Amino acid sequence: MTAPVTVAIDGPSGSGKSTISRRLAAAEGLAYLDTGAMYRAATWWCRRRGVELTDAAAVAAATEVMPLDMGVDPGDPTITCDGVDITAAIRLSEISSVVSAVATNLDVRAQLRERQRAIIAAERRPGGHSGGRGIVAEGRDITTVVAPDADVRILLTADEAARLARRARELHGTVDDRAIAATRDEVVGRDAQDSTVSTFLTAADGVVTIDSSALDIDQTLAVVRRVVAQARQEEQ
């Protein structure tokens, strides 16, 4: 039995980190944690409770009591809040367009960081979803703040054109000029706002950068799996 592993993956929107992280977790038999979904869930919860997102103290107070259950099965990462399955709802543009207001709230970040650390720690023990095999956690500050001691730390990047094309295809089903223009605001604007509180555009010391601009999903996954395999070998 190999030792439990924690894989931390950061990157900007459209870098492919969610798809890669989920597939990596499934392939390696690990749990999967989408930390961005936790910021989205907090946004959903505040809206449900009628909390103004500009009221930082109220948003932090609401997040503190948020009854969030993060599914960590990479085959079915269902997210439940207050008994409601919000997996699809948190992807809607009404959440995407305002989530940065919550993700840049430093009190919220401190709270969610602790919840994220607890989920990661649980997967290193036999009782967790992965049976103690470990977890892939992805986001913007996992390699630097949430789990700087992770066994494997990866920054997944892609140039702006590649990231815009991927998101346009995902959101609009096409990569024509109109779709790219409509996507630009979401991808570039949101990353600019988020980068005021986390550093996810350049790799911290010891973090492996993988540029996926010219790679498809399978090729990127193969590179990531090689990095994980190498780290596990070095550990033994």
| Residue 39 found at the interface with ligand DC (CB under 6 A) | yes
Neighbour tally for 148: CB within 10 Å? 15
Neighbour tally for 88: CB within 10 Å? 8
> DSSP state, 199?
-
Q: Which of 25, 105, 130, 141 binds ligand DC (CB under 6 A)?
A: 141
**Which two structure tokens, joined as six digits, stand for 209?**
């950068």
The least distance separating ligand DC from the CB of residue 11, rounded to whole angstroms, comes to 9
Instruction: Kindly indicate which of the ranges 138-146, 153-161, 163-171, 175-183 contains the residues binding ligand DC, using the contact rule CB under 6 A.
Output: 138-146
Q: Which of 74, 139, 163, 224 binds ligand DC (CB under 6 A)?
A: 139
| Residue 143 found at the interface with ligand DC (CB under 6 A) | no
CA distance 198 to 95: 20
- Beta-carbon contacts of residue 110 (< 8 Å; ≥ 6 apart): none
| Residue 198 found at the interface with ligand DC (CB under 6 A) | yes
Can you say whether residue 73 is alpha, beta or left, with left for phi > 0 and alpha for psi between -120 and 50 degrees?
beta
Tokens 């992965």 -> residue: 130
Q: Which is closer to ligand DC, CB of 4 or CB of 139?
A: 139
Tokens 């989530």 -> residue: 99
The site map against ligand DC for 100-129 (x = CB under 6 A) is x--x--------------------------
Q: Which is closer to ligand DC, CB of 99 or CB of 156?
A: 99
Interaction site with ligand DC (CB under 6 A): 13, 35-37, 39-40, 99-100, 103, 139-142, 190, 194, 198
